[in-house]
Amino acid sequence: MTQTLLTLQGITKRYPTVVANDRVSLEVQKGEIHAILGENGAGKSTLMKIIYGAVKADEGTLLFNGKPTLIRNPQEARQLGISMVFQHFSLFDTLSVAENVWLGLDRSLSLASVTERIQETASNYGLDIDPMRPVYSLSVGEMQRVEIIRSLLTNPQLLILDEPTSVLTPQAVDKLFVVLKKLAAEGKSILYISHKLHEIRALCTACTVMRGGVVTGSCNPQNESNASLSQLMIGSMPPTLSVRPQSPGEVALSVNGLTLSKSDPFGVDLKDIQLQVRSGEILGIAGVSGNGQQELLYALSGEDTRSAPASMVLFGQEVGHWPPQSRRELGLHFVPEERLGRGAVPELSLSQNLLLTRKEAVSPNIGWLNMKSLQVQAQTIIDRFHVKASGPNALAKSLSGGNLQKFLVGREIDASPQLLIISQPTWGVDIGASAQIRAAILALRDAGCAVLVVSEELDELLALSDRLHVIANGRLSPSLTRQEAQVSLIGTWMSGLWSKPNAEHVHAET
């Protein structure tokens, strides 16, 4: 006999320009892993925030353990036994991992005991993290580990997970699923938001589908196929990626023996990085979060200018010491993994955020801004990449994570780059938008652009890349062709255990 833990009846949440949730009703049983499936902007995250007390519903009733319950804030939610891992993290940058976790727990616990519990939980669940590290020094993937550990330490009755595996390795995902299934077997309930249909089918026993803020159906995902779930979610099948063989052109970017000491005490030293990216080629870099990806991206984008000039050659120019703007003028464009704060200014509109990478709207003579031109450009990107936003004047922070990602990727692709460096291109993006972004990257490559993709989504890298490297402990593996790149081999190389360059595993770059 199942028992209902959570019941939502007629939940409605209106914002000035959109109804995020429109009379949403659903039930979650005890011991159930319940998926919430829908496109970006379907209202999933808003609904989860209402359950967690971070957003107040305008209408509707919430019952927890059969009792009508008003959850006024996250603290009350945690006291009830509800915990949530957000897609956008709620961590204090200047505090340590342990201090961030401690803030959400019983104040009778000492920091030392919390630190010990973090280490134990991290080890048991394959989410290793140093409790003493300050959060500002963590990569996005490491921050997500902190959020998951913090939620698990509250021993919740209901655990809400918003895209929990988006920056985890396949091995870590497998370990997390073991943990979640164990929690469900103990009678705990899990609300699971993911765009990875194979995960939902493997993990969840119930699924509620949302579209445009409305519940459009429900199913047992274990009885569905990826195709049928996609049909339920977006009303159609996503376009199939068409990957054509491509002969790469001239070298666009050459990195020669790049060695950099970490600028942060908790960072990773880069050691003798060697790579080349050619025009008309996509080079992928795989690896577990926190193995030097962040440091490498800072060096490539120009955020870190400590490199020796000759260690980085961009279209024939030695640029190791050049700042971002100078590299951008040569045709390098960059999409960082951190959307808000590094990719976009949260309090600025979408059109104003174009100024971060565009200078065309600034008068060269008097420095005035042509706001009309910026708004036209922003609307073009919104239309082309199907961004759900109220218009060019919508604040960046008002968009869902997936829609902001579509805008940022669109902003850089629309600028016609000669070299595009992109980190986690489809993190938190629904299946339809993911296919669209990947198709746009492939079209860019087919048009002759050089593309460097850093991602922790192996399936994504295998679908996009002409060649692959693996990064581990600040070192870069030999490159593999698409045909040579086997998941088992890449998984081994993620531990830094690769052989010396040889004809079997290394694709000639010259």
Handedness of CA 342, 348, 354, 356 (dihedral sign): negative
Contacts 24+ apart (CB under 8 A), 111-119: 114/153, 117/153, 118/149, 118/153
Tell me, what amino acid is at 336? P
Helix (H, G, I), strand (E, B) or coil at 433: helix
Q: Which amino acid is at 191?
A: L
CA distance 405 to 384: 13
CA distance 380 to 382: 5
Helix (H) or strand (E) holding 13, with range, is strand 4-15
Burial (CB count within 10 angstroms: exposed 0-12, middle 13-18, buried 19+), residue 186: exposed
Residue 21 identity (one-letter amino acid): N
pTM of the model: 0.71
Structure tokens at 172: 């870590």
Eight-class DSSP state of 501: P
The per-residue pLDDT string of the chain (510 residues; one tens digit each, 9 = 90 and over) reads 569 999 999 999 998 878 999 999 999 999 999 999 988 778 998 999 999 999 999 999 999 999 999 999 998 998 899 999 887 677 898 999 999 999 877 778 899 999 999 999 888 777 778 999 999 888 777 887 888 888 888 889 999 998 887 666 666 678 788 888 988 998 999 999 988 888 899 999 999 999 889 998 899 999 998 888 888 887 766 666 666 777 899 999 999 999 999 988 878 999 999 999 999 999 999 998 789 999 999 999 999 999 999 999 999 999 999 999 999 999 999 999 888 888 999 999 999 999 888 776 666 666 677 888 899 999 999 999 889 888 999 999 988 877 898 999 999 999 999 999 999 898 777 777 788 889 999 999 999 999 999 998 888 899 899 999 999 999 999 999 988 998 888 888 988 888 644 434 444 343
Sheet of strand 59-64, all strands in order from the earlier edge strand to the far edge? 18-29, 4-15, 59-64, 67-68
CA distance 478 to 475: 10
pLDDT of residue 436: 84
Report how far Cα 70 is from the mean position of its chain's Cα atoms: 32
The H-or-E segment that residue 140 falls in is: helix 140-153
Q: Measured between alpha carbons, how far is 191 from 36 in angstroms, rounded to an integer?
A: 7
pLDDT of residue 508: 38
Indicate the SS3 state at residue 420. Answer: strand
Domains of the chain, CATH where assigned:
4-234 (3.40.50.300), 250-331+418-510 (3.40.50.300), 339-416 (no CATH)
- Residue 507's pLDDT is what? 41
Helix (H), strand (E), coil (C) string for 250-307: CEEEEEEEEEECCCCCCCCCEEEEEEEEECCEEEEEECCCCCCHHHHHHHHHCCCCCC
pLDDT of residue 509: 40
Give the integer Cα–Cα distance in Å for 436 and 363. Answer: 34
Residue 242: the pLDDT is 67
How far is residue 392's CA from residue 381's CA, in Å, rounded to a whole number? 9
Q: Which two tokens stand for residue 411?
A: 């902003």
